[in-house]
């Protein structure tokens, strides 16, 4: 089974991030490595990410913008494929099985 590294740059998205992560955790069809990068948030984004720390990789960096957060995620990604998703997006239940 192929492994997909999913990188989520997250900045001040406490209202959306849990929906995003939940939509990834229920995916079937490929092994997902979920990497969420808190980009210096000033709200409770990091706190919400840390709730998932046993299931996903959480990185915290000084605010660097979306590109900087994506690059930080790339530095620890180990999948066969890469996927980027924004923190305010989510996937339908069968999204990964359709592309895997």
* For residue 100, pLDDT beyond 80: no
Sheet holding 57-61, edge to edge: 57-61, 31-39, 3-10, 81-84
For the stretch 52-80, pLDDT in tens is: 999 999 999 999 999 999 999 999 999 99
Q: What is the structure's pLDDT at 77?
A: 98
For the stretch 24-39, pLDDT in tens is: 999 999 999 999 999 9
The alpha carbon torsion through 63, 68, 74, 75 (nearest 10 deg) reads -70
Q: What is the structure's pLDDT at 99?
A: 82
Q: What is the structure's pLDDT at 98?
A: 87
């Amino acid at each position: 089974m192929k492994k997909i590294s999913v990188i989520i740059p997250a900045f001040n998205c406490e209202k959306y991030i849990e929906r995003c992560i939940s939509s990834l955790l229920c995916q079937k069809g490929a092994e997902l490595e979920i990497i969420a990068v808190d980009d210096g948030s000033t709200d409770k984004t990091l706190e919400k990410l840390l709730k998932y720390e046993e299931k996903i990789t959480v990185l915290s960096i000084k605010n660097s913008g979306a590109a900087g957060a994506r690059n930080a995620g790339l530095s620890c990604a180990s999948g066969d494929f890469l996927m980027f998703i924004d923190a305010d997006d989510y996937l339908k239940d069968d999204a990964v099985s359709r592309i895997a």
